[in-house]
Amino acid sequence: MISRVTFAKTTYNDVPTRFEAGTPHVEGVVALKTALEFVEGIGYERISQWEHQLLVAATQRLGKIQGLTIYGNVSDKAPILSFNLEGAHSSDVAQIMDQCGVCVRAGHHCTQPLMDRLGISSSVRASFSVYNNYNDILALEKSILKAKELLL
Active site (catalytic) residues: 110
Domain boundaries, the chain: 6-40, 46-151
Mean pLDDT of 22-44: 93
Q: pTM (2 decimals)?
A: 0.81
Let me know if 43 is exposed, middle or buried by CB neighbors in 10 A (0-12, 13-18, 19+): exposed
Are 50 and 129 in contact by the 8 Å Cβ rule? The answer is: no
Closest CA to 73 of 97, 56, 92: 56
Angle made by CA atoms 108, 87, 144, in degrees to the nearest 5: 75
Q: Which of 10-14, 42-46, 59-63, 93-97 is predicted with the least confidence, judged by mean pLDDT?
A: 10-14
CATH number 3.90.1150.10 given to 46-151? yes
| DSSP code, position 101 | T
Are 127 and 79 in contact by the 8 Å Cβ rule? The answer is: yes
Please give the share of the chain, as a percent, with pLDDT higher than 90.
82
Question: Tens of pLDDT along 48-83?
Answer: 999 999 999 999 999 999 999 999 988 889 999 999
